[in-house]
A = this chain, B = another copy of it.
Amino acid sequence: MGKRLGRQTVLLSMPPVIRGYAAVAGKKEGEGPLGECFDYVSEDSYFGEQSWEKAESHMLRQCFSLACDKAKLPPSELDYIFSGDLLNQCISSAFAMRDTAVPYFGTYGACSTMAETLSLGAMLIEGGFASRVCALTGSHFCSAERQYRFPLEYGGLRAPTAQWTVTGSGAVVLGSKGKGPRITHVTTGVICDAGIDDVANMGAAMAPAAHATLTAHFADTGRSFEDYDAVFTGDLGAIGHDILQSLLHKDGYDTGVKYMDCGMLIYDVKTQGVNSGGSGCGCSASVLCAHILPAIEKGIWKRVLFAATGALMSPTSAQQGESIPGICHAVVIESGVE
Protein backbone atom coordinates (compact mmCIF):
# COMPACT_ATOMS: atom_id res chain seq x y z
CA MET A 1 0.00 0.00 0.00
CA GLY A 2 1.19 3.47 -0.82
CA LYS A 3 1.85 5.90 1.98
CA ARG A 4 1.11 9.56 1.48
CA LEU A 5 3.80 11.99 2.56
CA GLY A 6 2.34 15.47 2.64
CA ARG A 7 0.33 17.05 -0.11
CA GLN A 8 1.89 15.80 -3.33
CA THR A 9 4.14 12.83 -2.58
CA VAL A 10 3.63 9.12 -2.02
CA LEU A 11 6.24 6.75 -0.65
CA LEU A 12 6.32 3.33 -2.27
CA SER A 13 7.09 0.82 0.45
CA MET A 14 7.61 -2.08 -1.98
CA PRO A 15 9.25 0.01 -4.67
CA PRO A 16 8.72 -1.19 -8.23
CA VAL A 17 11.87 -2.17 -10.06
CA ILE A 18 13.02 -0.94 -13.46
CA ARG A 19 13.42 -4.24 -15.31
CA GLY A 20 14.44 -2.80 -18.64
CA TYR A 21 14.56 0.40 -20.64
CA ALA A 22 15.50 1.69 -24.05
CA ALA A 23 16.09 4.94 -25.89
CA VAL A 24 15.77 5.59 -29.61
CA ALA A 25 16.77 8.89 -31.19
CA GLY A 26 17.17 10.78 -34.44
CA LYS A 27 20.29 11.81 -36.37
CA LYS A 28 20.84 15.19 -34.70
CA GLU A 29 20.50 13.65 -31.23
CA GLY A 30 22.89 10.91 -32.35
CA GLU A 31 25.46 13.61 -33.13
CA GLY A 32 25.07 15.16 -29.65
CA PRO A 33 26.92 14.42 -26.40
CA LEU A 34 24.76 11.34 -25.69
CA GLY A 35 25.03 9.98 -29.23
CA GLU A 36 26.80 6.78 -28.16
CA CYS A 37 24.28 6.06 -25.42
CA PHE A 38 21.09 5.50 -27.43
CA ASP A 39 20.03 1.95 -28.20
CA TYR A 40 19.29 2.99 -31.75
CA VAL A 41 19.85 6.13 -33.82
CA SER A 42 17.94 6.55 -37.05
CA GLU A 43 19.78 8.30 -39.86
CA ASP A 44 16.42 8.69 -41.62
CA SER A 45 14.03 11.28 -40.17
CA TYR A 46 11.15 9.23 -41.63
CA PHE A 47 12.21 6.01 -39.87
CA GLY A 48 11.29 4.28 -43.16
CA GLU A 49 7.69 5.59 -43.05
CA GLN A 50 5.72 7.87 -45.37
CA SER A 51 5.07 10.75 -42.96
CA TRP A 52 6.69 12.27 -39.87
CA GLU A 53 3.67 11.36 -37.75
CA LYS A 54 4.06 7.73 -38.80
CA ALA A 55 7.80 8.05 -38.20
CA GLU A 56 7.15 9.19 -34.63
CA SER A 57 4.83 6.26 -34.07
CA HIS A 58 7.37 3.86 -35.60
CA MET A 59 10.05 5.20 -33.26
CA LEU A 60 7.83 4.69 -30.19
CA ARG A 61 7.01 1.15 -31.25
CA GLN A 62 10.68 0.36 -31.85
CA CYS A 63 11.64 1.80 -28.46
CA PHE A 64 8.86 -0.18 -26.75
CA SER A 65 10.03 -3.42 -28.39
CA LEU A 66 13.66 -2.79 -27.41
CA ALA A 67 12.68 -2.09 -23.79
CA CYS A 68 10.62 -5.30 -23.62
CA ASP A 69 13.53 -7.24 -25.16
CA LYS A 70 15.99 -5.82 -22.66
CA ALA A 71 13.55 -6.65 -19.82
CA LYS A 72 13.32 -10.19 -21.28
CA LEU A 73 9.56 -9.85 -21.31
CA PRO A 74 7.24 -10.56 -24.22
CA PRO A 75 4.90 -7.55 -24.62
CA SER A 76 1.94 -9.91 -24.13
CA GLU A 77 3.00 -10.36 -20.49
CA LEU A 78 2.58 -6.68 -19.69
CA ASP A 79 -0.42 -5.85 -17.50
CA TYR A 80 -0.67 -2.21 -18.60
CA ILE A 81 0.89 0.27 -20.97
CA PHE A 82 0.90 4.00 -20.16
CA SER A 83 1.78 6.25 -23.07
CA GLY A 84 1.20 9.74 -24.43
CA ASP A 85 2.79 12.27 -26.73
CA LEU A 86 2.58 15.78 -28.18
CA LEU A 87 0.69 15.07 -31.38
CA ASN A 88 -2.97 16.05 -31.55
CA GLN A 89 -5.03 13.28 -29.96
CA CYS A 90 -1.80 11.50 -28.96
CA ILE A 91 -1.79 9.51 -32.20
CA SER A 92 1.85 8.48 -32.16
CA SER A 93 1.24 6.54 -28.93
CA ALA A 94 -2.09 5.02 -29.92
CA PHE A 95 -0.92 3.89 -33.34
CA ALA A 96 2.35 2.56 -31.91
CA MET A 97 0.50 0.45 -29.36
CA ARG A 98 -2.56 -0.56 -31.37
CA ASP A 99 -1.41 -4.13 -32.07
CA THR A 100 -0.06 -4.94 -28.60
CA ALA A 101 -3.34 -6.29 -27.13
CA VAL A 102 -2.22 -4.93 -23.74
CA PRO A 103 -4.60 -2.89 -21.52
CA TYR A 104 -3.77 0.69 -22.46
CA PHE A 105 -4.04 3.99 -20.58
CA GLY A 106 -3.49 7.10 -22.69
CA THR A 107 -1.99 10.03 -20.82
CA TYR A 108 -1.40 13.66 -21.65
CA GLY A 109 1.24 15.49 -19.69
CA ALA A 110 3.01 17.23 -22.59
CA CYS A 111 6.78 16.98 -22.03
CA SER A 112 6.22 15.72 -18.47
CA THR A 113 4.78 12.47 -19.84
CA MET A 114 7.76 10.24 -19.01
CA ALA A 115 7.44 11.05 -15.30
CA GLU A 116 3.62 10.91 -15.41
CA THR A 117 3.59 7.45 -16.98
CA LEU A 118 6.27 6.21 -14.56
CA SER A 119 4.27 7.64 -11.63
CA LEU A 120 1.03 5.93 -12.59
CA GLY A 121 2.73 2.68 -13.58
CA ALA A 122 4.68 2.54 -10.31
CA MET A 123 1.55 3.22 -8.23
CA LEU A 124 -0.46 0.50 -9.99
CA ILE A 125 2.34 -2.01 -9.26
CA GLU A 126 2.73 -0.91 -5.63
CA GLY A 127 -1.06 -1.10 -5.23
CA GLY A 128 -1.12 -4.73 -6.38
CA PHE A 129 -3.01 -4.03 -9.61
CA ALA A 130 -0.16 -5.03 -11.89
CA SER A 131 3.13 -6.91 -11.93
CA ARG A 132 4.56 -5.55 -15.18
CA VAL A 133 3.90 -2.15 -16.73
CA CYS A 134 5.49 -0.28 -19.61
CA ALA A 135 5.75 3.54 -19.46
CA LEU A 136 6.74 5.27 -22.67
CA THR A 137 6.67 8.45 -24.67
CA GLY A 138 8.47 10.27 -27.45
CA SER A 139 8.50 13.26 -29.75
CA HIS A 140 9.70 14.10 -33.25
CA PHE A 141 11.17 17.44 -34.32
CA CYS A 142 9.49 17.49 -37.72
CA SER A 143 5.96 16.51 -36.64
CA ALA A 144 6.13 18.94 -33.71
CA GLU A 145 7.38 21.82 -35.88
CA ARG A 146 4.57 21.56 -38.36
CA GLN A 147 1.91 21.08 -35.71
CA TYR A 148 3.05 23.76 -33.27
CA ARG A 149 5.00 26.24 -35.38
CA PHE A 150 5.66 26.45 -39.11
CA PRO A 151 6.03 24.07 -42.05
CA LEU A 152 9.71 23.09 -42.09
CA GLU A 153 9.95 24.25 -45.72
CA TYR A 154 9.18 27.79 -44.54
CA GLY A 155 12.55 27.88 -42.82
CA GLY A 156 11.44 30.37 -40.15
CA LEU A 157 14.03 31.92 -37.87
CA ARG A 158 13.87 30.73 -34.28
CA ALA A 159 13.90 33.04 -31.27
CA PRO A 160 17.03 32.85 -29.08
CA THR A 161 14.82 31.60 -26.23
CA ALA A 162 13.27 28.82 -28.34
CA GLN A 163 14.04 25.15 -27.82
CA TRP A 164 14.51 22.30 -30.26
CA THR A 165 12.02 19.42 -30.06
CA VAL A 166 13.95 16.20 -29.56
CA THR A 167 13.43 13.38 -32.03
CA GLY A 168 13.62 10.64 -29.48
CA SER A 169 11.74 8.12 -27.41
CA GLY A 170 12.17 6.42 -24.07
CA ALA A 171 10.46 3.31 -22.70
CA VAL A 172 10.74 1.79 -19.23
CA VAL A 173 9.45 -1.63 -18.16
CA LEU A 174 8.54 -1.64 -14.48
CA GLY A 175 8.03 -4.81 -12.47
CA SER A 176 7.02 -5.84 -8.98
CA LYS A 177 10.03 -8.17 -8.68
CA GLY A 178 13.59 -8.41 -9.88
CA LYS A 179 16.86 -6.55 -9.60
CA GLY A 180 17.59 -3.03 -10.72
CA PRO A 181 16.97 0.60 -9.81
CA ARG A 182 13.64 1.21 -8.08
CA ILE A 183 11.06 3.97 -7.97
CA THR A 184 10.71 4.89 -4.32
CA HIS A 185 8.69 8.14 -4.38
CA VAL A 186 6.19 9.78 -6.67
CA THR A 187 5.57 13.54 -6.45
CA THR A 188 2.67 14.66 -8.62
CA GLY A 189 2.61 18.19 -9.95
CA VAL A 190 -0.06 20.85 -9.71
CA ILE A 191 -0.67 23.11 -12.69
CA CYS A 192 1.29 26.39 -12.39
CA ASP A 193 0.70 29.41 -14.59
CA ALA A 194 3.05 32.33 -14.07
CA GLY A 195 1.45 34.33 -16.87
CA ILE A 196 4.16 33.74 -19.53
CA ASP A 197 2.53 33.86 -22.97
CA ASP A 198 5.59 33.66 -25.22
CA VAL A 199 5.41 30.27 -26.95
CA ALA A 200 9.04 30.73 -27.98
CA ASN A 201 10.06 30.71 -24.31
CA MET A 202 8.74 27.47 -22.86
CA GLY A 203 11.59 27.24 -20.38
CA ALA A 204 10.35 30.37 -18.61
CA ALA A 205 6.78 29.07 -18.68
CA MET A 206 7.70 25.69 -17.17
CA ALA A 207 10.32 26.77 -14.60
CA PRO A 208 7.70 27.84 -11.98
CA ALA A 209 6.07 24.39 -12.22
CA ALA A 210 9.44 22.70 -11.72
CA HIS A 211 10.08 24.98 -8.76
CA ALA A 212 6.69 24.12 -7.25
CA THR A 213 7.20 20.36 -7.62
CA LEU A 214 10.79 20.28 -6.36
CA THR A 215 9.97 22.39 -3.30
CA ALA A 216 6.83 20.29 -2.63
CA HIS A 217 8.95 17.15 -2.90
CA PHE A 218 11.50 18.49 -0.44
CA ALA A 219 8.76 19.68 1.96
CA ASP A 220 6.88 16.36 1.75
CA THR A 221 9.96 14.17 2.24
CA GLY A 222 12.08 16.38 4.49
CA ARG A 223 14.87 16.01 1.93
CA SER A 224 16.92 18.52 -0.02
CA PHE A 225 19.59 18.57 -2.73
CA GLU A 226 22.13 16.99 -0.38
CA ASP A 227 20.00 13.85 -0.21
CA TYR A 228 20.36 13.30 -3.95
CA ASP A 229 23.34 12.47 -6.10
CA ALA A 230 21.69 14.22 -9.02
CA VAL A 231 18.49 16.15 -9.71
CA PHE A 232 17.17 16.43 -13.28
CA THR A 233 14.49 18.61 -14.80
CA GLY A 234 12.90 17.54 -18.06
CA ASP A 235 13.33 20.18 -20.68
CA LEU A 236 13.69 23.67 -19.27
CA GLY A 237 16.67 24.40 -21.50
CA ALA A 238 19.40 26.87 -20.56
CA ILE A 239 16.99 29.75 -19.88
CA GLY A 240 14.52 27.75 -17.81
CA HIS A 241 17.42 26.08 -15.98
CA ASP A 242 18.76 29.48 -14.95
CA ILE A 243 15.32 30.72 -13.86
CA LEU A 244 14.71 27.62 -11.77
CA GLN A 245 18.16 27.88 -10.24
CA SER A 246 17.49 31.51 -9.27
CA LEU A 247 14.13 30.59 -7.74
CA LEU A 248 15.73 27.78 -5.74
CA HIS A 249 18.63 29.96 -4.59
CA LYS A 250 16.12 32.59 -3.40
CA ASP A 251 14.54 29.85 -1.28
CA GLY A 252 17.95 29.08 0.18
CA TYR A 253 18.59 25.80 -1.66
CA ASP A 254 22.17 25.04 -2.63
CA THR A 255 21.71 23.36 -6.02
CA GLY A 256 25.47 23.04 -6.58
CA VAL A 257 26.49 20.95 -9.58
CA LYS A 258 23.85 18.35 -8.84
CA TYR A 259 21.08 20.07 -10.70
CA MET A 260 21.01 19.37 -14.44
CA ASP A 261 18.44 19.77 -17.21
CA CYS A 262 17.85 17.05 -19.81
CA GLY A 263 17.37 19.73 -22.48
CA MET A 264 20.96 20.89 -21.94
CA LEU A 265 22.41 17.36 -21.84
CA ILE A 266 21.04 15.93 -25.05
CA TYR A 267 22.59 18.56 -27.35
CA ASP A 268 25.76 20.56 -27.36
CA VAL A 269 23.87 23.80 -26.80
CA LYS A 270 26.84 25.87 -28.07
CA THR A 271 27.42 24.14 -31.40
CA GLN A 272 24.25 22.32 -32.44
CA GLY A 273 22.07 25.36 -33.18
CA VAL A 274 19.34 24.43 -30.72
CA ASN A 275 19.17 27.85 -29.05
CA SER A 276 18.07 27.28 -25.43
CA GLY A 277 18.28 23.46 -25.66
CA GLY A 278 16.11 20.41 -26.22
CA SER A 279 12.43 19.97 -25.46
CA GLY A 280 9.56 17.57 -26.22
CA CYS A 281 8.30 14.42 -24.51
CA GLY A 282 11.26 12.58 -26.01
CA CYS A 283 13.80 14.87 -24.36
CA SER A 284 13.56 13.76 -20.73
CA ALA A 285 12.42 10.27 -21.81
CA SER A 286 15.46 9.54 -23.98
CA VAL A 287 17.92 11.19 -21.56
CA LEU A 288 16.46 9.09 -18.74
CA CYS A 289 16.87 5.87 -20.68
CA ALA A 290 20.16 6.64 -22.46
CA HIS A 291 22.03 8.47 -19.71
CA ILE A 292 20.45 8.55 -16.24
CA LEU A 293 19.38 4.93 -15.78
CA PRO A 294 22.65 3.50 -17.17
CA ALA A 295 24.60 5.77 -14.77
CA ILE A 296 22.51 4.51 -11.85
CA GLU A 297 23.13 0.92 -12.90
CA LYS A 298 26.87 1.60 -13.15
CA GLY A 299 26.84 3.00 -9.61
CA ILE A 300 27.78 6.57 -10.66
CA TRP A 301 24.65 7.84 -8.92
CA LYS A 302 22.73 6.02 -6.24
CA ARG A 303 19.72 8.24 -5.72
CA VAL A 304 18.28 10.51 -8.38
CA LEU A 305 15.30 12.88 -8.53
CA PHE A 306 13.83 12.91 -12.05
CA ALA A 307 11.43 15.81 -12.58
CA ALA A 308 9.95 16.02 -16.07
CA THR A 309 8.36 19.32 -17.10
CA GLY A 310 5.47 20.03 -19.47
CA ALA A 311 3.69 23.03 -20.98
CA LEU A 312 -0.06 22.38 -21.14
CA MET A 313 -0.85 24.82 -23.97
CA SER A 314 -1.86 24.36 -27.58
CA PRO A 315 -1.43 26.62 -30.65
CA THR A 316 -5.15 27.45 -30.26
CA SER A 317 -4.86 28.52 -26.63
CA ALA A 318 -1.82 30.65 -27.51
CA GLN A 319 -3.63 32.29 -30.44
CA GLN A 320 -6.55 33.05 -28.12
CA GLY A 321 -4.21 35.03 -25.85
CA GLU A 322 -3.95 32.52 -23.03
CA SER A 323 -0.79 32.24 -20.97
CA ILE A 324 1.04 28.91 -20.74
CA PRO A 325 0.22 26.58 -17.83
CA GLY A 326 3.10 24.34 -16.81
CA ILE A 327 3.29 21.09 -14.88
CA CYS A 328 6.12 19.02 -13.45
CA HIS A 329 5.91 15.44 -12.23
CA ALA A 330 8.79 13.85 -10.32
CA VAL A 331 9.90 10.36 -9.31
CA VAL A 332 12.80 9.23 -7.14
CA ILE A 333 14.92 6.48 -8.69
CA GLU A 334 17.31 4.66 -6.41
CA SER A 335 19.66 1.70 -6.59
CA GLY A 336 20.48 -0.66 -3.75
CA VAL A 337 17.01 -0.70 -2.18
CA GLU A 338 14.93 -3.86 -1.90
In the complex the two chains form, what is the Cα distance from A88 to B317 in whole Å? Answer: 10
Known: A79-B4, A95-B322, A120-B120. A108 touches B127 (CB 8 A): no
Interface size on A, residues (CB 8 A): 61
Closest to A113 in B: B106
In the complex the two chains form, what is the Cα distance from A48 to B129 in whole Å? Answer: 43
Please give the distance in Å from A41's CB to the nearest CB on chain B. Answer: 25
Taking CB atoms, residues of chain B closer than 8 Å to A189 are 103-104
Q: Which one of B54, B126, B191 contacts A320 once the chains associate, using CB atoms below 8 Å?
A: B54
Per-residue CB proximity of A30-58 to B under 8 Å, as 1/0?
00000000000000000000110110000
Taking CB atoms, residues of chain B closer than 8 Å to A156 are none
Closest to A49 in B: B320
Please give the distance in Å from A77's CB to the nearest CB on chain B. Answer: 11
Query: In the complex the two chains form, is A88's CB within 8 Å of B314's CB?
Result: yes
Q: Which one of B4, B110, B188 contacts A105 once the chains associate, using CB atoms below 8 Å?
A: B188
Query: In the complex the two chains form, is A193's CB within 8 Å of B98's CB?
Result: yes
Query: In the complex the two chains form, is B103's CB within 8 Å of A2's CB?
Result: no
Q: Which one of B98, B107, B124 contacts A107 once the chains associate, using CB atoms below 8 Å?
A: B107
Report if A200 contacts B (CB, 8 A).
no
Query: In the complex the two chains form, is B100's CB within 8 Å of A191's CB?
Result: yes
Report if A334 contacts B (CB, 8 A).
no
Taking CB atoms, residues of chain B closer than 8 Å to A1 are 1, 127-128
Report if A180 contacts B (CB, 8 A).
no
7 interchain residue pairs of minimum CB distance? A127-B127, A1-B128, A103-B188, A94-B312, A89-B314, A2-B129, A106-B108
Residue positions of A touching B, CB distance < 8 A: 1-4, 7-8, 10, 50-51, 53-54, 79-80, 84, 86-91, 94-95, 97-110, 116, 119-120, 123-124, 126-130, 188-191, 193, 312-317, 320, 322, 325, 327
